[in-house]
């Protein structure tokens, strides 16, 4: 059987599992994502507003397939992605479903993460201008749908975070690529603590390329759709005009500006233990607050994440996604991811019992096993 046929069969099996898992809660899966040709653009609308537009396997598969078609279509000049409902762009992947399936011995994680990371790469290498309107909650998988694209437009309602260390995972979807490339050690800080950035600060941090007041977002979209056979420069010019005219928080400085020296010095260490020691030595209220946060995170996740970013800083996006795929499968086999999902999303007691519970119990061997090649099961592009 060809590799293509095997993948197709795996997709079908996974779809069936996810369909059964979701049927009791949600019946109109076909409308979870809207894919429409409007004017000069292909428009992707994530359409699960009551569930903060969290991503299902089916949504990822549909977006990937349509993105590839639009990329080849001479009448499609740009691609716009947005979230329905005004509350969230996308709060991430539907990880509760993945955890439930894994516990039920329905092995969907290999295919879910494979196709999600393939989509992240397709966005990063998209030959058409790609505009993500990141209005509202933008976390985890939602960051993967936006940050690798050419244009990312934040509003004052944008709430960005990569909170994976709190659920026994790591900042995936290419986090190992874009986070270490942010100014100084900002990306390491965001990755390890899950710190939330809001509004114009998402632009100031370098995650968004433009900032627009939310009341102008619909007009911006209309102006983009009305362009006639636009070039990348035409699209950039429209975005730049709206950005220049935006007024909200224009005169405020970056919320982390006063802490950047501390972030750069404390998070420049090569081990999590040293970072913790640096924060203790610093002793400022900001440093001690971060220490408190880090101490609640999965020790395994913290160590994986630091190494992921250090290695990712010199890798291509594709190389990072291959590395992250290995990490994702190791996390599915482990304890902390399922415990994190239970504590944060299912029982909501916010008291995960990590194993190991202490950083010093996470050995180099444990760490190396997470990064090991999967041989023929590796993610390839």
CA atoms 214, 215, 216, 218: torsion sign: positive
334 is catalytic: no
Residue linked to tokens 């966005």? 123
172 is catalytic: yes
Q: Is a pLDDT exceeding 80 seen at residue 150?
A: yes
Query: How many angstroms separate the CA atoms of 133 and 224, rounded?
Result: 12
Q: Which residue, among 238, 248, 237, has the nearest Cα to 200 in the 3D structure?
A: 248
Average pLDDT, the chain: 93
Q: Is a pLDDT exceeding 70 seen at residue 209?
A: yes
Cβ atoms of residues 286 and 343 within 8 Å = no
Residue of 32, 172, 221, 336 with catalytic role: 172
Residue linked to tokens 């505009």? 131
Q: Mean pLDDT, to the nearest integer, of 323-340?
A: 97
pLDDT of residue 156: 98
Q: Which residue, among 360, 367, 307, 358, has the nearest Cα to 331 in the 3D structure?
A: 367
Residue of 141, 149, 175, 187 with catalytic role: 141
Q: Is a pLDDT exceeding 50 seen at residue 27?
A: no
Which tens digits make up the pLDDT trace of 181-199? 999 999 999 999 999 999 9
Q: Is a pLDDT exceeding 50 seen at residue 263?
A: yes
Query: How many angstroms separate the CA atoms of 285 and 88, rounded?
Result: 31
Residue of 42, 93, 136, 187 with catalytic role: 93
124 is catalytic: no
Q: How far is CA 323 from CA 119, 243, 304, 334, 370, in A?
A: 15, 36, 11, 17, 9
Q: Is a pLDDT exceeding 70 seen at residue 4?
A: no
| pLDDT confidence tier of residue 7, bands split at 50, 70 and 90 | low
Which tens digits make up the pLDDT trace of 78-112? 999 999 999 999 999 998 889 888 888 888 899 99
Q: How far is CA 290 from CA 21, 192, 197, 280, in A?
A: 37, 9, 15, 10
Q: Which residue, among 100, 5, 14, 106, has the nearest Cα to 57 in the 3D structure?
A: 14
206 is catalytic: no
Q: Which residue has the higher pLDDT, 25 or 280?
A: 280
Residue of 164, 201, 324, 336 with catalytic role: 164
pLDDT of residue 30: 61
Q: Mean pLDDT, to the nearest integer, of 124-128?
A: 97
């Amino acid at each position: 059987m060809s590799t293509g046929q095997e993948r197709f069969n795996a997709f079908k099996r996974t779809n069936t599992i996810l369909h059964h898992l979701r049927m009791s809660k949600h019946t109109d899966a076909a409308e979870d994502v809207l894919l429409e040709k409007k004017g000069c653009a292909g428009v992707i609308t994530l359409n699960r507003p009551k569930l903060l537009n969290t991503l299902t396997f089916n949504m990822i598969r549909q977006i990937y397939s349509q993105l590839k078609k639009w990329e080849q279509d001479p009448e499609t000049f740009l691609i716009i992605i947005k979230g329905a409902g005004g509350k969230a762009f996308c709060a991430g992947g539907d990880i509760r479903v993945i955890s439930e399936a894994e516990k039920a011995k329905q092995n969907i994680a290999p295919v879910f993460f494979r196709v999600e990371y393939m989509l992240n790469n397709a966005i990063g290498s998209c030959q058409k201008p790609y505009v993500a309107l990141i209005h509202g909650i933008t976390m985890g998988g939602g960051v993967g749908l936006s940050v690798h694209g050419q244009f990312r437009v934040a509003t004052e309602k944008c709430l960005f975070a990569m909170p994976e260390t709190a659920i026994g995972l790591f900042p995936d979807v290419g986090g190992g690529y874009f986070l270490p490339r942010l100014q100084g050690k900002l990306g390491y800080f965001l990755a390890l603590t899950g710190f939330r950035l809001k509004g114009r600060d998402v632009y100031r941090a370098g995650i968004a390329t433009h900032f627009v007041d939310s009341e102008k977002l619909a007009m911006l979209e209309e102006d983009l759709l009305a362009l006639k056979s636009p070039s990348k420069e035409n699209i950039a010019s429209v975005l730049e005009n709206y950005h220049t005219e935006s007024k909200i928080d224009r005169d405020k400085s970056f919320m982390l500006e006063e802490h950047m020296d501390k972030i750069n010095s404390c998070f420049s260490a090569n081990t999590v233990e040293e970072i913790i020691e640096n924060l203790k030595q610093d002793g400022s209220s900001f440093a001690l607050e971060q220490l408190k946060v880090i101490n609640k995170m999965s020790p395994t996740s913290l160590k994986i994440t630091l190494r992921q970013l250090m290695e990712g800083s010199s890798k291509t996006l594709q190389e990072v996604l291959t590395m992250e795929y290995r990490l994702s499968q190791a996390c599915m086999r482990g304890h902390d991811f399922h415990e994190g999902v239970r504590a944060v999303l299912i029982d909501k007691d916010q008291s995960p019992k990590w194993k190991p519970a202490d950083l010093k119990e996470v050995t180099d061997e444990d760490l190396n096993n997470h990064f090991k090649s999967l041989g023929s099961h590796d993610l390839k592009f």
